[in-house]
Amino acid sequence: MLHFKSHLHDEAGTAALGAALSRALLPGMAIYLHGDLGAGKTALTRALLHAAGHVGPVKSPTYTLSEPYRVKVDGKLANVVHFDLYRMGSPEEFLDAGFREEFNRENVCIVEWPEKADGVLPPPDLHVFLSVAGSGRDVELQPSSALGTSCLQRLQFAPNL
C-alpha cells in the first residue's frame, strides 16, 4: 500500500507539509494525528488550515474538544473540523457531545489523540504519525481507505532535504 515517509528538518518543513496536504484533501476525509505532546500535530493542522484559506488564529481545541473552520477543500467551500481529544475522559464523551455526526461526506475531520475515543470513532482515511527527531520531525502518512490513498496520490510535497 502507498505511504509517505520523510524527515522534516524544522517548523518550516512541517508548515510546508501542512500546505501540501491542504491541496490534496478530499471532502469526507477523516485524518488521525498520532504523536507525543509537542510532536507537531497542531502545527501541521494550523499550516493546513491557513493554506486552505483560513485567516486568523488556529489553536488546539484542547478544552472545547472541537473547532470548525470553513475553508476550501478540493476547490469548494467545506468544513474542516479539528478535534483534540487529549482531555477527554472516556470514549462515551465523544458520543455524548454529538461529534460523530461531523464525520460525513462533506466535512474533513482532523483528530488529535484519536486513541482517546477508540472504539467509537469512525475509521480514518489517513493516519499521520509525527515524532520529534533532533531539531525536526519524522513524519509518516499511511492511508487506510481508498479516499486516503487518493489523497496521498494527489500529495505533491518535496521535503526540505
pLDDT tens digits along 4-38: 998 898 888 899 999 999 999 999 999 999 999 88
- Bigger pLDDT: 35 or 161? 35
37: number of Cβ within 10 Å: 8
Q: What is the mean pLDDT of residues 114-142?
A: 93
pLDDT at position 124 = 97
Q: What is the pLDDT of residues 27-81, one digit of tens each?
A: 999 999 999 988 889 999 999 999 999 998 888 787 788 999 999 998 899 999 9
Q: What is the mean pLDDT of residues 75-100?
A: 91
pLDDT at position 159 = 66
Crossing angle of helices 11-24 and 41-51, in 10° steps, is 50
Asked if 83 and 61 touch (Cβ cutoff 8 Å), the reply is yes
Q: What is the mean pLDDT of residues 99-122?
A: 93
pTM exceeding the 0.85 threshold for the entire prediction: yes
Given a cut of 80, whether residue 112 has pLDDT beyond it is yes
Set of cell numbers at residue 17: 507539509
How far from 99 is each of 60, 62, 103, CA to CA, in Å?
Answer: 16, 15, 8
Contacts of 12 (CB under 8 A, 6+ apart): 160
Percentage of the chain beyond pLDDT 90 is: 64
DSSP, collapsed to helix, strand or coil, labels residue 70 as: strand
pLDDT at position 28 = 95
Q: What is the mean pLDDT of residues 109-136?
A: 93
Which pLDDT band, with edges at 50, 70 and 90, does 161 fall under? very low
Q: Residues 131, 124, 83, 118: is their CA dihedral positive or negative?
A: negative
Contacts of 16 (CB under 8 A, 6+ apart): 8, 47, 157, 160
